[in-house]
């Protein structure tokens, strides 16, 4: 049973458990017209926990925990983030002169000292196959462009008479990472290079590619966004494309949702209240551009143990609930970033509340309501129901009454409220819903 059927069967009480679909589910071919991401993607990414340093042993340990604790709730995309090809990766900093592992055609491959099963040209195929056997999809991070080392060596472009120096744009560089040059898509051989890269990763069994340095400046990189999209289609494998980082300009919403399944709307999001408060406006601005198969991405969930095990999240419990409530009601992808090897009970409970996850995965007519300063309010409808979801947020430094007139939600008379975080009856309301919300906190209700 797919996620849509499972969700439909469990909407009355929240999200139903997502069963293990097995390897066939991860590798199923997309038929004509099938959306790669009909609902906001859910999963785990290594960046918040491991920076550039994750190893195969750590990846396998984490994937096993994810299968046991998060997959039953729909988190099914396991992603190895940046510099899996860098033998000497050590932190959140990047080596000034990287020597990435790559094949003879300038395509990045896993560093064998960190991913031993990749030796002998196997790449990520063994790890991806084992992740598929767990019932999950396998994702990797990829920087825009072609490795600078490939350009220095002037390696050939697979299947063409061209070489790296023929297609590289050495003036197109990432401001924060030294690994790559951009690819000049007007040059012969440029599309063939991207085709060769994604063909290799499709052969490994990759299901999800987080492609970085793509969105800023957006217009300058748009040809490579289109090139990556075309290369994925040319493989014949249904791979989701996630663009990073922000700020993707809202005025390019029609373009980005044509070529990617999700795209970042901000720079890296971390456990800082100021960053969280700023995401309200971004999600409000992007709301008209969200649709099934195309999701504005407010970035990963920095919860639990973070930053190479150096600290726990700085978000207070109320701020953590605000984070999950906002991402859910605005239907942002839910990608956990914390170290699953140290997953504590409160964080697990936050991530696996079925009623809250149903808001993220199975709601429609999601919209913000502008009432007064210091508050944020969103509403939505459960799929197949005339009920309403209502999210109340207090962005001030003190407890505050937050409320909205029922007529703004298309309701009249008396409604009954159910608190989705506690699962408890929260009384009734007539004419107006008002509740006291803690500082930096949130409340989430279903109105019947």
Name the residue ranges covered by the structural domains of the chain: 42-352, 369-447
pLDDT value, residue 247: 80
pLDDT value, residue 97: 87
Q: How far apart are CA 373 and CA 378, in angstroms?
A: 14
Across residues 85-98, what is the average pLDDT? 92
Residue 316 confidence class, pLDDT cut points 50, 70, 90: very high
Please classify residue 57 by burial: count the beta carbons closer than 10 Å to its beta carbon, then call 0-12 exposed, 13-18 middle and 19+ buried.
Answer: exposed
What is the helix, strand, coil percentage profile of the chain, to 5? Answer: 35, 25, 40
Please classify residue 348 by burial: count the beta carbons closer than 10 Å to its beta carbon, then call 0-12 exposed, 13-18 middle and 19+ buried.
Answer: middle
Q: How far apart are CA 296 and CA 330, in angstroms?
A: 9
pLDDT higher than 80, residue 411: yes
pLDDT value, residue 7: 52
Q: How far apart are CA 144 and CA 190, in angstroms?
A: 13
CATH class of the domain whose range is 369-447: mainly beta
Residues in the chain: 448
pLDDT higher than 90, residue 95: no
Across the chain, what does the average pLDDT equal?
93
Neighbours of 384 (CB within 10 A): 11
Tens of pLDDT, residues 127-153 = 999 999 999 999 999 999 999 999 999
Tens of pLDDT, residues 187-245 = 999 999 999 999 999 999 999 999 999 998 999 999 999 999 999 999 999 999 999 99
pLDDT value, residue 246: 79
pLDDT more than 70, % of the chain = 93
Place of tokens 């990520």: 124
Across residues 274-288, what is the average pLDDT? 98
Q: Which residue has the higher pLDDT, 21 or 304?
A: 304
pLDDT value, residue 368: 98
Phi-psi region of 403 (alpha: psi -120 to 50; beta: other; left: phi over 0): beta
pLDDT value, residue 125: 98
pLDDT higher than 60, residue 2: no
pLDDT value, residue 105: 98
pLDDT higher than 80, residue 18: no
CATH 3.40.50.12240 fits domain 42-352: no
The angle subtended at Cα 110 by Cα 171 and Cα 37, nearest 5°, is: 80
pLDDT more than 90, % of the chain = 90
Phi, psi dihedrals of residue 150, rounded to the nearest 5°: -65, -35
Across residues 386-402, what is the average pLDDT? 98
Look up residue 368 and give its two tokens: 């913000």
């Amino acid at each position: 049973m797919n996620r849509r059927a499972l969700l439909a069967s469990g909407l009355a009480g929240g999200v139903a458990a997502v069963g293990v679909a097995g390897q066939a589910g991860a590798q199923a071919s997309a038929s004509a017209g099938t959306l790669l991401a009909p609902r906001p993607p859910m999963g785990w990414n290594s960046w918040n926990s491991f920076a550039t340093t994750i190893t195969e042993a750590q990846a396998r340990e984490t994937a096993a925990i994810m299968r046991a604790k998060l997959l039953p709730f729909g988190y099914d995309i396991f992603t190895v983030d940046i510099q899996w090809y860098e033998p000497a990766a050590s932190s959140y900093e990047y080596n000034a002169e990287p020597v990435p592992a790559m094949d003879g055609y300038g395509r990045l491959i896993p560093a064998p000292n960190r991913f031993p099963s990749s030796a002998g040209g196997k790449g990520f195929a063994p790890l991806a196959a084992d992740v598929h056997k767990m019932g999950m999809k396998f994702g990797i991070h990829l920087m825009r462009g072609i490795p600078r080392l490939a350009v220095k060596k002037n390696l050939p472009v697979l299947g063409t008479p061209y070489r790296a120096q023929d297609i590289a744009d050495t003036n197109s560089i990432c401001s924060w990472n030294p690994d790559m040059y951009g690819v000049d898509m007007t040059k012969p051989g440029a599309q063939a290079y991207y085709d060769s890269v994604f063909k290799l990763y499709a052969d490994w069994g990759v299901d999800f590619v987080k492609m970085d340095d793509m969105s800023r400046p957006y217009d300058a990189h748009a040809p490579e966004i289109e090139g990556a999209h075309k290369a994925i289609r040319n493989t014949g494998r249904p791979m989701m494309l996630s663009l990073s980082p922000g700020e993707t300009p809202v005025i390019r919403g029609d373009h980005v949702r044509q070529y990617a399944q999700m795209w970042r709307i901000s720079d890296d999001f971390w456990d800082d209240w100021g960053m969280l408060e700023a995401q309200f406006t971004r999600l409000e601005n992007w709301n008209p551009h969200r649709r099934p198969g195309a999701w504005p991405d407010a970035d990963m969930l920095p919860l639990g143990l973070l930053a190479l095990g150096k600290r726990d999240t700085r978000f207070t419990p109320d701020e953590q609930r605000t984070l999950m409530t906002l991402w859910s009601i605005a239907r942002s992808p839910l990608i956990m970033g914390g170290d699953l090897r140290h997953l504590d009970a409160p964080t697990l409970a936050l991530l696996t509340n079925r009623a809250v996850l149903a808001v993220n995965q199975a709601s429609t007519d999601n919209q913000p309501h502008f009432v007064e300063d210091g508050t944020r309010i969103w509403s939505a409808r459960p799929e197949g129901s005339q009920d309403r979801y209502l999210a109340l947020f207090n962005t001030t430094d003190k407890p505050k009454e937050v409320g909205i007139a029922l007529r703004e939600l298309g309701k009249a008379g008396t409604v009954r409220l159910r608190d989705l975080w506690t699962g408890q009856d929260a009384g009734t309301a007539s004419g107006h819903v008002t509740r006291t919300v803690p500082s930096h906190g949130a409340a989430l209700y279903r109105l019947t």
